[in-house]
Structure 1
């Protein structure tokens, strides 16, 4: 009888240890340390739960990973119905710190441009994680970073796997279509280099960037000043245009530019191969939607190629 009692007692202790070791509370309290895309090491005593995000791309990634948001980027663009009541708190260039602090976030997720505001954020007791969307590889690294931070690593691996499959799909899709990507409005536009996000998408979707040898602007990494003379000399097959703050005004200004004597004789203009790219996919990193950007770009390149082969 005594042996039976000892055995039952041992079993109860063993079960108790198993239950305690797998306690959800303990898992939730587990700390996490990550190195962000600015090379900063940030430690959290417990996994962050209240999240503020300041860029649409990161917002999309966090939603796809299943992370709850308490503060989102200020934007006039339509948002998912589930985010309608989430406070808008500014963006990476103009954060509204009063609103950010008011929602009591455990972490602020922001793109590279937010580095200028990191010290102020720290002075307000905010913890910041910097992501990047300068290239497809940067987007994948950001997804991996966020997956680790929010204990969503398996979901992050699945997302990255999908992106890799998409890149592989187009890796041999060299269309030989020569393109230029303009970002801005009218003659004040910038030209996207291969080192920009949109330039990287163009390359990986099978296009050739005529601005590959243009000089980068120090203030805008990945972009060059618009040189009408060089574009006319290169005579691209297609002109891609990325609209930003005011799409209607941008389109109006770009159509006016294309009608000038310098531009209207270009091959792309004559063939009506001037394409306005959707800002939600190309104005900045679209996060987990990067596959959609690759699909869109490749589809447009193939349309232009079909025109050239007629």
Structure 2
């Protein structure tokens, strides 16, 4: 079975930022130590100015949030020392203006995250290493860590734990909104959400009027193919752009939720205009986009004869569902709108 760098199900983590709590300003008296000195007109004016100042806004914390597993979690103060337990979780933290001190092994985006300590993989996080970093918040993945065997040990940590992730376009937006609450950075996350919505709209405009079919494919080490349905992240990206997916109505089958096993005969029958081929293994491993055209039954496929077999990045379509959905929309639009 192929390893998708520790995740084939949506990864989403809740990002938390490191900031300080604001203090109230207090008014100070004059230099004169003589308590009998009469107040001057200037003193009275200053006093009037102070008393007419607008009230200081209430502190954002503590705040109670509901994470993507429906759990209510209290955040007592703005998180500063954050551990994120999936690539998606890491990216969500940074998208909300935060940073992490601990990350999973394959979580290498953004560049700033690489300096964080590794705490194992998303499927095998090292709880001792997490606690050694003394976090005030742990961001787990609501997709990967929904499984009881992974969820329960994380929930038992003696620090607040938030579950955030994404298996669809809408869940990316939901996760960002949650992170905005956790970090008190709604302005920041709203801007990211607006950028994502614009990327989707721009992609739809770029391919408007093109009636095409497309499959998003992955393969295991035995070269068994699996096609993304609309219930998968990659399949939902195609659906959001109005692209017809011949595999959408197929039954789930195989080891990957939201995917259907695709025989060679079925692929020939579907004969899509485009194939987005996703290779899980890093280079120099052979690319699935190179393998497909070399298989004799597939040489006559429309996607092959038109040179429309696209090498789709695993980060964008499988490994790290999250803010970089922007890049996925751009990649699909660029491929489909090309001559």
Name the TM-score, length of structure 1 as normaliser: 0.83
- The secondary structure found in structure 1 opposite 2:115 is coil
> Aligned runs of 1:116-127 on 2, under 5 Å?
116=147, 117-127=150-160
Shift of 1:45: 2.3
Alignment partner of 2:275 out of 236, 239, 255 = 239
The runs of 5 or more residues in structure 1 that have no matched partner are none
Cα distance change on mapping 1:237 and 1:141 into 2, 3 Å = same
Shift of 1:201: 1.5
Contact 2:216–2:235 under 8 Å retained in 1: yes
**Counterpart position of 1:291:** 326
**Counterpart position of 2:251:** 215
Contact 2:138–2:159 under 8 Å retained in 1: yes
> Aligned runs of 1:258-277 on 2, under 5 Å?
258-277=293-312
> Aligned runs of 1:174-189 on 2, under 5 Å?
174-185=209-220, 187-189=223-225
The runs of 5 or more residues in structure 2 that have no matched partner are 1-35
Task: Decide which moves more: 190-199 or 145-154.
Answer: 190-199
1:67 paired with 2:102, answer no
Give the Cα–Cα distance (whole angstroms) in 2 for the partners of residues 174 and 195 of structure 1: 25
Contact 2:215–2:245 under 8 Å retained in 1: yes
Shift of 1:18: 7.2
Alignment partner of 1:148 out of 181, 184, 196 = 181
Deviations 1:250-296 (Å, cap 9, x if unpaired)?
52x66445423322222222333211111222223442222121011
Greater Rg, structure 1 or structure 2?
2
> Aligned runs of 1:91-240 on 2, under 5 Å?
91-111=121-141, 112-116=143-147, 117-172=150-205, 173-185=208-220, 187-217=223-253, 220-240=256-276
Cα distance change on mapping 1:292 and 1:12 into 2, 3 Å = same
Q: Which has the higher helix share?
A: 1
**Counterpart position of 1:84:** 114
Give the Cα–Cα distance (whole angstroms) in 2 for the partners of residues 191 and 110 of structure 1: 27
Give the Cα–Cα distance (whole angstroms) in 1 for the partners of residues 318 and 68 of structure 2: 20
Cα distance change on mapping 1:247 and 1:21 into 2, 3 Å = same
- The secondary structure found in structure 2 opposite 1:248 is coil
Task: Decide which moves more: 188-197 or 239-248.
Answer: 239-248
Cα distance change on mapping 1:169 and 1:9 into 2, 3 Å = same
1:42 paired with 2:78, answer no
Give the Cα–Cα distance (whole angstroms) in 2 for the partners of residues 104 and 150 of structure 1: 18
- The secondary structure found in structure 2 opposite 1:283 is helix
Question: What is the CA RMSD across the aligned residues, in angstroms?
Answer: 3.2
Contact 2:74–2:160 under 8 Å retained in 1: no
Which one scores higher on RCO, CA 8 angstroms, separation ≥ 6?
Answer: 2
